Each structure stands twice: as structure tokens, then as C-alpha cells.
Amino acid sequence: MALETILVVDDEPAIVQVIRDRLQHEGFQVRAAGSAREASAAVADPPDLIILDLMLPDLDGFELLRRLRQQGLDLPVIILTARDDDVDVVVGLELGADDYVVKPFNPRELVARVRAVLRRRGEALALAARVASLEARLPEASAGTAPGSAAPAARLRFDAPARRAWYAGQLLDLRPREYDLLHFLAQHQGQVLSRDRLLERVWGTAAYYDDRTVDVHVHRLRQKLAEIDPDADPIQTERGIGYRLEL
């Protein structure tokens, strides 16, 4: 079985060596890039996950992440930063990072976060494959509506194998975690879901995340839904508790 590959993008050799030693000890294959230019070249052979420092010598890590996402690179990314300001964390999540670690960090915690992100990624891909296999066995007569859709006129519908969602008939441009969150809310439409439950069921473990993670992703979903229908507000906030979806 091939080892999972982690690309570490950081211009501090000592930091890279600490991460490399720990990850290799835990059974990962590690590649390193000391600049945005090197990282851009390294992803031509896509790794399984990227650990990205924000303070790079030739380009801000935020901008590198933005460019990689614009190029369609859909890989898990963990931000590694010495800047623990809330704004930096929110910006990183907004750009599609899956998690963040603040320097100085505990190498064991970093490994735990890497494993958690990769596990969630693997679970999502496995689920999509299982759903695709099941749908392939459905009678052709059921092909009149979009996959995962209860009815053609449904306000919100999903194509589970392709991990796509439509709102008011328009395809939503969703990041993987945004899709998971919206799908879980839709499965429990009308129910108030606490932030802790959303963290557990969508992110897989509440140990390495906090309420801010949920709030940021809900904010992004609201923005994308409002672009299609500015007059609607389907994701309702239950103050002090969490969120519920009302269509």
C-alpha cells in the first residue's frame, strides 16, 4: 500500500525538519517546498495533503492558497502560521483551508490533525463511491430526476455521487466541507442542530475545532445561497445553540 504523501510548504528548514521527522515516523511520505514557486511546481504531482505556512518569501500563503483553489486543486490544506489573529484564521478557512495550526505547535497534535483531515477525506470519497455504485443499480425509469433529488422542482437537491448541490435550480459552487454541512442540514431540515453536533458529524471530531469553524462555514453558505436568492434566508440561527435549515 502506497504511503500517503504530505507536502510541507515552509521556508524555515528547522520547522520543516521537525515536521518531516514526525510525519515519517508516523508512516507518511514527506516532500518539502521552501517557496510558493516551489510549491506550485510540486503540486503537479499532487500530494494527499498540504501543510502550508503563511509567511513565505515570495508570496503570501493566503494568495498561494487562493491561486491553487482557482486552478481547481481540491486537496486538503492545513495552514501553519505564527499569526494567531482571528482574522487570519477566518480568512484561511474562507479560502478553503481545512484546518489551521498556530506556531509554536506540538508535532503530535499536528500529526493528529493531519490524520483527522485525511480520514474525513477518505470517508467522503468512500461514501460517494458507495452511493454511485448503488445508484448505478437503480432502474432506468428512475433517471427522470437528478441524482439524489426527491423531485425536479425541489428547492434544494443533491447529487451525492458527484457531491454537487442545486439551490433554486442553480448549481452551487461549494467547497467539500460546505457541501457536507449543507447536506447534513438538509437531512435534518427544520431541526435545530447545535454547533457541537455539527462539528462532530460534519468535521468528524470536535477536539481540534471550535464554534468559529461552524460559524465561518455557515457564513460562506449563506453568502452563496444569497447570490441566487437574496430575499431568502434558509439557514436560521438559533441564538446560543446552533442552526436549522428551513426551505
Q: For residue 151, give Cα distances in angstroms to 141, 158, 187.
A: 14, 11, 15
242, burial (CB in 10 Å: exposed 0-12, middle 13-18, buried 19+): buried
Question: Considering the chain, what is the average pLDDT of its residues?
Answer: 82
- The range of the structural domain enclosing residue 175 comes to 140-245
Of residues 133 and 229, more confidence is placed in 229
146 and 85 within one domain: no
Residues 234 and 166 in one domain: yes
Residues 166 and 230 in one domain: yes
Residues 71 and 172 in one domain: no
Is residue 135 included in any domain, yes or no? no
Classify residue 132: in a domain, yes or no.
Answer: no
| 104 and 160 co-located in one domain | no
Residues 56 and 111 in one domain: yes
Predicted confidence (pLDDT) at residue 234 exceeds the cutoff of 60: yes
Cell numbers representing residue 5 in the block: 504523501
Residue 185 shares a structural domain with residue 81: no
**Is 128 among the domain residues?**
no
Would you state the pLDDT for residue 98?
83
| pLDDT score for 215 | 84
Residue at 131 is within a domain: no
**Is residue 26 included in any domain, yes or no?**
yes
In angstroms, the CA 150 to CA 143 distance is: 12
Q: What is the CATH number of the domain that holds 103?
A: 3.40.50.2300
In this structure, what CATH number is given to the domain that contains residue 227? 1.10.10.10
Q: Are 73 and 167 part of one and the same domain?
A: no
Which stretch of 17-31, 81-95, 191-205 has the lowest confidence by average pLDDT?
A: 81-95
Whether pLDDT at 70 is above 80: no
If one compares 92 and 13, the residue with the highest pLDDT of the two is 13
pLDDT at residue 143 in the model: 38
Same domain, 12 and 50: yes
Domain co-membership, 37 together with 116: yes
**54 lies in the same domain as 150:** no
Mean pLDDT across 131-137: 56
Same domain, 32 and 109: yes
How many Å separate Cα 89 from the centre of its chain?
14
pLDDT at 175: 84
Task: Give the pLDDT of residue 151.
Answer: 34
Lowest mean pLDDT among 94-98, 147-151, 206-210: 147-151
The region that residue 169 occupies, defined by phi over 0 for left and psi between -120 and 50 for alpha, beta otherwise, is left
Provide the whole-model pTM: 0.60
| Mean pLDDT in residue range 135-155 | 46
The answer to whether residue 59 scores a pLDDT higher than 50 is yes
Is residue 11 pLDDT above 90, yes or no? Answer: yes
Indicate the number of domains in the chain. Answer: 2
Average pLDDT over residues 21-32: 95
pLDDT, position 211: 66
Res 207: pLDDT: 46
β-partners of residue 167 are: 156, 170
- The band of 185, judged by pLDDT with boundaries at 50, 70 and 90, is very high
Evaluate whether residue 46 is within a structural domain.
yes
| pLDDT (tens digit per residue) in 73-102 | 778 899 988 766 666 666 777 777 888 888
Does residue 133 lie within any of the structural domains? no
Q: Is residue 145 part of a domain?
A: yes
